[in-house]
Amino acid sequence: MNWNKILVAALALVIGAGAGGVALTDSHGASSSPTSSAGSEQPSTGAAGARVGEGMMGGGEGMMGGGSKIANGAPGGLVPASRMEALATMARRTVEERGSTLTYRSQNVTLVALGAPGSRPGMYWQLDGVDGPRGPTVSVPAGASITVDFADGDPGHPHGLELTTAAPPYPRMAMMAGRIAAPGAFIMPVPPPQGNLWYAVTISFHAPPAGTYYVICPVPDHAHEGMWATLVVR
């Protein structure tokens, strides 16, 4: 089965709809109210959150072989921006930080990935509250179990996430440049924020073999314009 063709078709459907991405979510019954409370100890997925995940990601398991389902107790659906920023702050305290390099020592990694959340212009990743001129670098041990709490914080632009084997510089269709580096390490684009509410999804996957990989947004042009970061498995 040609996954590249499937992904291109799916991206064209989501991106070509533009604002229809929100309508697609609404057609699955998602509410405009948040699915978790800012500052709560564990954000609730809620019924609306589950429907957002199923509508935009196709349930995850059927499309990409697992990983894209919204996890219990993790952000899902519309989540307050303040909650995602708080999660990023908490995650940042668990890593060794040197410049824009974040080093995890644990075999259980939780990474908060925010798509261009407004701290600077342009297309970029903010990982655990850190961004750099060429994107942050995250270092994890081989065999690590990685959970990514992802949210689109970029008004006016849909974003998704892919861990890819392809290195920069990227063409317009960056998702065609390489392959997904680990089963489950992919999130279909979600709609832009609705005010102070961000669309959030959680995925989990195992670190690929030791080497260097890249976190990109699979939306055409976004990685090409700078929305990529580095994952080193050591």
Residue 102 CA to chain centroid, in angstroms? 17
Q: How many CB atoms lie within 10 A of CB 67?
A: 23
Judge contact between 91 and 146, C-beta under 8 A.
no
How many residues are recorded in the chain?
Answer: 234
Torsion-angle region of 195 (φ positive above 0: left; ψ -120 to 50: alpha; else: beta):
left
pLDDT band at residue 10 under the 50/70/90 scheme:
low
Query: For position 19, what pLDDT does the model report?
Result: 34
Judge contact between 156 and 118, C-beta under 8 A.
no
**What value, to the nearest 5°, has the Cα angle with vertex 117 and ends 84 and 182?**
70
Domains of the chain, first to last: 3-233 (2.60.40.420)
Which of 100, 94, 90, 10 is CA-nearest to residue 42?
90
Identify the DSSP state of 87.
H
| Model confidence at 167: pLDDT above 60 | yes
Task: Kindly report which listed range (23-27, 69-73, 148-152, 214-218) carries the lowest average pLDDT score.
Answer: 23-27
What letter represents residue 189's amino acid? Answer: P
What letter represents residue 146's amino acid? Answer: I
Identify the DSSP state of 180.
B
Helix (H) or strand (E) holding 150: strand 145-152
Task: Kindly report which listed range (36-45, 103-112, 124-133, 145-154) carries the lowest average pLDDT score.
Answer: 36-45
- The neighbouring-strand residues paired with 98 are 101
Residue 15, classified by CB atoms within 10 Å of its CB into exposed (0-12), middle (13-18) or buried (19+), is middle
| Model confidence at 9: pLDDT above 80 | no
| Model confidence at 169: pLDDT above 70 | yes
